[in-house]
């Protein structure tokens, strides 16, 4: 099996953001452990099957789990995004992820972003992408939550933008008004049942395919394409780490 190792360039971008002066014993080599975490995300194996080249599998999982609880992986993505996101034109969309049997069993399933949809038990990954299609904000909901219901919370993290690209699932008068009040132009086609025709920039709307491409790229990571994590926080951390590697490193 081909092993994954962080490049010198990627490590140089990550290292300044690692936790410093932590109590306890000296940490095992961070670069080796994070490479092991990324390997598991890429190939989709169980944590206990992580190759010994990365160190003990318990160390790999514990580092991922503990830093996930501290929100470190999300903060790492935010730090990388802050250095280069271009949000003049932002796209919003979501994708379904099938929850496998291993994803069940956590206490309070309703709070773990798993819900029954047409595809069975699923989790929805919502994302915002910048002008060249790089995800810079992520959010999870159960699979039966509509896009328009999740949009306001996600858009709070969008910052300043001039255009928002979205499909018909985001066609709502309230959302359009809030965007215009914030100085942004909605590039969202209207639903078929609208009595009034919605005019939008069709040329700019063609760029919405970039967010679809981003989801396809993220699902090359097998533990993103299929959910095995019981905890929503851990699954979101995995998506954030895959996003950081695929688009920002």
Residue 242 is encoded by which pair of tokens?
């895959």
Q: Which tens digit of pLDDT belongs to each residue from 25-36?
A: 567 789 999 999
Contact predicate 87/100, CB 8 Å: no
Neighbours of 127 (CB within 10 A): 22
Query: Mind listing the pLDDT tens digit for each residue in 178-226?
Result: 999 999 999 999 998 888 889 999 999 999 999 999 999 999 999 999 9
**DSSP-based helix, strand, coil % in the chain, nearest 5:** 50, 15, 35
pTM of the model: 0.94
Q: Which range, 16-30, 185-199, 228-242, is most confident?
A: 228-242
Span 52-79, mean pLDDT? 95
Least confident of 22-26, 35-39, 169-173, 192-196: 22-26
**C-alpha–C-alpha distance, residues 93 and 207, integer Å:** 13
Q: What's the rounded Cα separation, in Å, for the pair 236 and 224?
A: 9
**Confidence band for 110, pLDDT divided at 50, 70 and 90:** low
Query: Tens of pLDDT along 113-134?
Result: 999 988 899 999 999 999 999 9
Number of residues assigned to the chain: 249
pLDDT recorded at residue 238: 98
* Percentage of the chain exceeding pLDDT 90: 83
Residue 90: other Cβ atoms inside 10 A: 26
**Which of 19, 128, 16, 143 is closest to 71 using CA atoms?**
19
Compute the average pLDDT of residues 52-78: 95
Please answer whether residues 123 and 114 qualify as being in contact, where contact means their C-beta atoms are separated by less than 8 angstroms.
yes
Helix runs in 83-231, H state only: 147-155, 173-181, 202-205, 209-218, 222-225
Strands 89-99 and 120-129: antiparallel
- Give residue 148's pLDDT band: very low, low, confident or very high (50, 70, 90): very high
**How far is 28 from 74, CA to CA, in rounded Å?**
21
Sign of CA dihedral 8, 2, 42, 34: negative
- For residue 62, what are the contacts with CB-CB under 8 A and spacing of at least 6? none
CA–CA distance, 237 with 249 (Å, rounded to integer): 16
- Quote the pLDDT of residue 139: 97
The pLDDT assigned to 195 comes to 86
- pLDDT category, 172, cuts 50, 70, 90? very high
What are the structure tokens assigned to 90, written together?
């932002």
pLDDT number for residue 105: 84
Euclidean distance between CA atoms 6 and 41, whole angstroms: 13
**Nearest-angstrom CA–CA distance, 84 and 143:** 31
Rounded to an integer, what distance in angstroms lies between the CA atom of residue 235 and that of residue 200?
Answer: 35
pLDDT over 60 (residue 232):
yes
pLDDT at 84: 82
| DSSP letter string, 73-114 | HHHHHHHHHHTT---SEEEEEEEEEEEPGGG--SS-GGGTT-
Amino acid 106: pLDDT:
83
Q: What is the pLDDT of residue 24?
A: 56
């Amino acid at each position: 099996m081909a092993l994954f190792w962080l490049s010198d360039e990627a490590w140089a971008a990550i290292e300044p953001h690692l936790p410093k002066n932590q109590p306890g014993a000296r940490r095992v080599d961070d670069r080796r452990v994070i490479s092991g975490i990324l390997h598991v995300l890429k190939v989709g194996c169980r944590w206990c099957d992580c190759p010994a080249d990365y160190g003990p599998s318990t160390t790999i999982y514990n580092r991922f789990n503990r830093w996930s609880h501290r929100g470190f992986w999300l903060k790492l993505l935010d730090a990388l995004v802050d250095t280069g996101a271009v949000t003049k034109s932002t796209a919003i969309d979501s994708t379904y992820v099938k929850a496998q049997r291993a994803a069940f069993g956590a206490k309070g399933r309703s709070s773990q972003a798993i819900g029954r949809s047409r595809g069975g038990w699923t989790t929805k990954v919502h994302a915002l992408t910048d002008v060249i299609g790089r995800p810079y904000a992520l959010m999870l909901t159960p699979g039966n939550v509509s896009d328009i219901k999740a949009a306001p919370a996600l858009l709070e993290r969008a910052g300043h933008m001039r255009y928002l690209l979205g499909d018909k699932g985001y066609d709502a008068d309230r959302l359009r008004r809030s965007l215009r009040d914030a100085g942004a132009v909605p590039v969202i086609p209207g639903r078929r049942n609208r009595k009034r025709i919605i005019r939008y920039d069709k040329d700019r709307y063609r760029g919405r395919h970039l967010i679809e491409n981003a989801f396809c790229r993220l699902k090359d990571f097998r533990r993103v394409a299929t959910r095995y994590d019981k905890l929503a926080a851990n699954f979101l951390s995995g998506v954030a780490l895959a996003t950081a590697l695929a688009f920002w490193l």
